[in-house]
Amino acid sequence: MALGNLNNLNNEGNAAGNLKVFISMAISLIVFVGIIAVSVFFIAVQGADETMVPELRGKELTEALMELQVKELYPRIQLRYSQTSLDKGLILEQEPLAGTIVKAGRRIRLVVSQGVVINKVENYLGRNIDEVHIEIQTLAASQGNLAAGSSGRPLLSVKEPFMYEYSEQSAGTILQQKPEPDAEISGPTVLEFVVSRGPESATIKAPNLVGLSINDALELIGRTGIDFSFTLRPASGDEVPGTVVYQEPAGNSSTPANTRFSFLVNEPETVSEGEVFGLFTYNMPRNPYPLAIRIEAQFPSGERRRLLTVEYGGGNLSVPYQLPSGTTLILSMLNREIHRETVQ
């Protein structure tokens, strides 16, 4: 009986020992798993290895991609026209810049050249020089940074002053250009033009303005495109006030096309209260051929009215007017305002 009890006590002791071993192993396993989890957590927090961004500007795209691959970096590519065809396929810009420390796997923005936006010189022969000049300026402005490379020069520009020669072509027509049409453009290019002055010995039939009112006279000048100047004097005798009373050369005579006509206008008999009669004058630079000018009147109410539109060669411009006091006269050339003044 006593022996049986002793065996039972031994069995219970063994069971208790086994339980302790199991609990110890379980705790050890939990601690081990915890250590592993903490290690993984800190590795994840630390993130990818850091690397230095290489210098890629000026390199070919394929070479740049290989360097990024070695650094475990990835490209984000943008295309842009550049200043010269020699840049085509090269890296123009990068972000981040070379030397920046970033994590592996970062995307690097690369701006790659597509070459020049235009690669050949257009054919400008036979076109008006003013239209071509404005077109080239507009092209440069629309290109923005593309039109000015590291040299700060536009892709296309026009050499001034132009060369002129007499020709049967109308004044302002492009007769010759350099570089010639379809010439390849590989970088900033300066265009040189030879421009027509018009026929050297051309003659016209002089328009007759005598007897016309100021508004009608200005309208006829605008249609004929003659060079002109006005002077004023008081009305006398049986003259109709506010009209052209004399001109030189005489109306309907044959005269050289580049002749300046002189017109004499007599003053109105009366000027309404609040109105001003006078002569608008402005000394303009002489042009080798006539350019489009416009004179507008902006009334105190804000309304605008055209007084004169004409091709004008420059020099002392003089135009009579009868307008409300406070009206602003606006002079424009080639649609660009160059002068304004208010009549009082």
Tens digits of per-residue pLDDT, 295-311? 999 999 999 999 999 98
Indicate whether 30 belongs to any domain: no
Contact between residue 90 and residue 60 where contact means Cβ atoms under 8 Å apart = yes
- Residues 50-78: what's their mean pLDDT? 94
Shared domain check, 190 and 265: no
Residue finishing a domain among 140, 172, 196:
196
Q: Pick from 324, 344, 317: which is nearest to 228 by CA?
A: 317
pLDDT of residue 134: 86
Shared domain check, 74 and 57: yes
**pLDDT score of 148 more than 50:** no
79: domain CATH number? Answer: 3.30.10.20
Q: How many C-beta atoms surround the C-beta of residue 19 within 10 A?
A: 10
**pLDDT score of 3 more than 50:** no
Domain containing residue 181? 129-196
Shared domain check, 249 and 320: yes
Shared domain check, 158 and 103: no
Among 17-31, 92-106, 118-132, 189-203, top mean pLDDT goes to 92-106
In order of 57, 109, 128, 189, the CA distances from 116 in angstroms are 18, 21, 26, 12
Percent of the chain with pLDDT over 70: 85
In order of 28, 130, 190, the CA distances from 180 in angstroms are 89, 19, 12
- Residue-wise pLDDT tens digits, 153-183: 777 889 888 888 888 898 899 999 999 999 9
- Residues 196-209: what's their mean pLDDT? 87
Shared domain check, 338 and 208: yes
Residues 6+ apart with CB under 8 A from 118: 139, 155, 156, 185
The total of structural domains in the chain comes to 3
Shared domain check, 247 and 188: no
Mean pLDDT over each residue of the chain, to the nearest integer: 86
- Residue-wise pLDDT tens digits, 73-100: 999 999 887 766 667 889 999 999 999 9
**pLDDT score of 246 more than 90:** yes
**pLDDT score of 10 more than 70:** no
**pLDDT score of 226 more than 60:** yes
The whole model's pTM is what? 0.54
